[in-house]
């Protein structure tokens, strides 16, 4: 007799893996309960919930074209049963948790000299620093252009200036 989706059947656990349990129903059909379908609460180790040879009542949640049958215990649980199972588990303790790193903000900027881009000579206004940067940048660009016109290249066979 073929199983149909939504049917509730009795069976016996025939095997257990890390990802689920295999069940043989009373009529001889076989199916699998995935670990996510064992309980409404989190199941870390399926062997703590099911044992080989245990009698179970399951719901058929799907039947694939190739004959694979997916079963569920979770869908037969009442909504509050999962909470009771979760309460029965060992509670987490503070010692088991990793300590959190304490957030430490960056130190405040107290003077203009704290900035890395500030010149060591005391600086001046922002406009002075920008004009100095522009001059330096223009000098470097003209050096690069002169080097290219002489046949030096920044890429290529390794020749050229640094």
Which tens digits make up the pLDDT trace of 45-54?
Answer: 899 889 999 9
3-state SS, one letter per residue, for the chain: CCCCCCCEEEEEEEEECCCEEEEEECCCCEEEEEHHHCCCCCCCCHHHCCCCCCEEEEEEEEECCCCCEEEECHHHCCHHHHHHHHHHCCCCCCCCCCCCCCCCCCCCCCCHHHCCCCCCCCCCCHHHHHHHHHHHHHHHHHHHHHHHHCCCCCCCCCCCCC
pTM (predicted TM-score)? 0.48
Q: Is 125 helix (H, G, I), strand (E, B) or coil?
A: coil
The answer to whether 33 touches 72, Cβ cutoff 8 Å, is: yes
Indicate if the pLDDT at residue 84 is higher than 90. Answer: no
pLDDT tens digits for range 67-80: 889 999 988 887 76
Indicate if the pLDDT at residue 42 is higher than 90. Answer: no
The answer to whether 63 touches 69, Cβ cutoff 8 Å, is: yes
User: Which pLDDT score, from 0 to 100, does residue 119 have?
Assistant: 47
């Amino acid at each position: 007799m073929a199983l149909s989706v939504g049917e509730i059947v009795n069976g016996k656990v025939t095997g257990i893996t890390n990802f689920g349990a295999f069940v043989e129903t009373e009529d001889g059909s076989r199916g699998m309960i995935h670990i996510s379908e064992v309980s409404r609460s989190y199941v870390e180790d399926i062997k703590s919930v099911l044992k080989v040879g245990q009698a179970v009542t399951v719901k058929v949640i799907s039947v694939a074209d190739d004959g694979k049958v997916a079963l569920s215990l979770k869908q037969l649980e009442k909504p509050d049963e999962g909470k009771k199972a979760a309460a029965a588990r060992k509670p987490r303790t503070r010692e088991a948790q990793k300590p959190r790193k304490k957030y430490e903000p960056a130190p405040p900027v107290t003077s203009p000299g704290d900035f890395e881009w500030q010149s060591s000579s005391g600086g001046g206004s922002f406009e002075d620093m920008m004009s100095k940067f522009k001059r330096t940048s223009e000098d470097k660009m003209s050096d690069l252009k002169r080097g290219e016109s002489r046949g030096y290249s920044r890429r290529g066979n390794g020749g050229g200036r640094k």
